[in-house]
Amino acid sequence: MSSFLLKNITIADSKSCFNADILIENGVVTSFDGKCADTVYDCTGLVAMAGLFDMHVHLRDPGFVQKEDVITGCNAALAGGIIGVAAMPNTKPVTDNVETVRYIIDKAKSTGVEVHPVGSITKGLKGDELCDFDSLKAAGICAVSDDGRPVENAEMMREALVLAAERNIPVISHCEDLSIINGGIINKGKVSEKLCVPGMDRASEDYITAREMILASSADVPIHIAHVSTKGSVDMIRFAKSKGVKVTCETCPHYFLMTEDKTISMDADYRMNPPLRTEEDRIAVLEGVLDGTIDCIVTDHAPHTPEEKSDFYHAPNGVIGMETSLAAVLTLYHDGKITLSDIARIMSERPREILSLPNVKIAVGEKANICIIDTNHKWTVDPVKLHSKARNAVFKGVEFKGKPIMTISNGEIRYKDAEYNFVEIK
């Protein structure tokens, strides 16, 4: 029997925080007051949360494995304390068929990360014909989305919402009006004007956010809004929730920690879609996180090669973030804005609820699925040291306080920070 003990650790979930000694035997939590084990870690000052879940990532596999693949993406997830992800369908081939869904699931089996493919709403992400939701669900998808682009036809989107709701399949909407975007590459505002580059007007996101909630409300079905970045969207979602609309939403750390000012450098690593917005938007997104309007924090992890990102004007949109998301959110904890229980809710529990996936908890009798965090460990983000194939880290060069130092998945230690000094009690 193999065993290890996490001695004197703080367990944080959405309801409470308490100190305990977590004894793990043969991969299962067997006691909160264990005395001995094969290996004993002194976890004084450390925090244990149920493994995190990122419900919006791009693993680029199949089709774009020069950017990322399932294995490297899962390695990055584990280094970020993440044991489950929802992988978006803009692969090649698109995840609109049973074979691609099964390929992704099968490739992830050995990684220690639950990879839940998101099927596309329309075939080929073209917006012309709905996919066969029944076969995709049977194959193992957790949701449907045409992420990367909107479903432009409102009636087709309404039909998708109804059909998906009948099958208990969440619908995730990429809210962007392409005619309003019209070739924009950063937020439309002071920086785009200064650089003389086309901008992406906030109205693009706000318009489709409003449309999706109107469609969902009229059919009385759920809708999930992806990567919220504007004050208008936050305000509308807050109002819609108050009126009983079945809307949930997400945002990424860069939208409440950064603004369009980052793009003045003409560094394409600060280009993503939706783009970094204004200070007014940043504050509104932060307020949405703090008051619960925004349900969960995701990364929209979007790897690209250094060569692709070398040209500011023509680089593809997207940044990587799975290894920095928890550290970024911990800045709010250190500022006294949120608690550890809030973090457990928005980064572990709530995403699984939205996707109707089983909850993961630290409890006696449960498989050990645990993210161990040193909330006071200072470190600087060096893209070269990250586990992703890509280097387009939006928080590159940022010094954070706090990071995941060990990730236990399905009872097995899958990640230990090689530079962290773990204290073992002999």
Rounded Cα–Cα distance for residues 202 and 232 (Å): 8
**Residue 300 is a catalytic residue:** yes
SS (H, E, C) 234-299: HHHHHHHHHCCCCEEEEECHHHHHCCHHHHHHCCHHHCCCCCCCCHHHHHHHHHHHHHCCCCEECC
What is the residue type of 379?
W
Q: Is 155 exposed, middle or buried (0-12, 13-18, 19+ CB in 10 A)?
A: exposed
Please tell me whether residue 300 adopts helix, strand or coil conformation.
coil
State the DSSP code for 156.
H
Q: Does residue 198 have a cis bond before it (omega within 30 degrees)?
A: no
Q: Is 336 exposed, middle or buried (0-12, 13-18, 19+ CB in 10 A)?
A: exposed
Rounded Cα–Cα distance for residues 159 and 165 (Å): 10
Q: What angle do CA 379, 380, 383 make, to 5 degrees?
A: 130
Instruction: Judge contact between 248 and 225, C-beta under 8 A.
Output: yes
Q: What angle do CA 31, 32, 34 make, to 5 degrees?
A: 65
User: Of residues 206, 281, 300, 342, which has the active-site annotation?
Assistant: 300
Query: Which residues participate in catalysis according to the annotation?
Result: 300
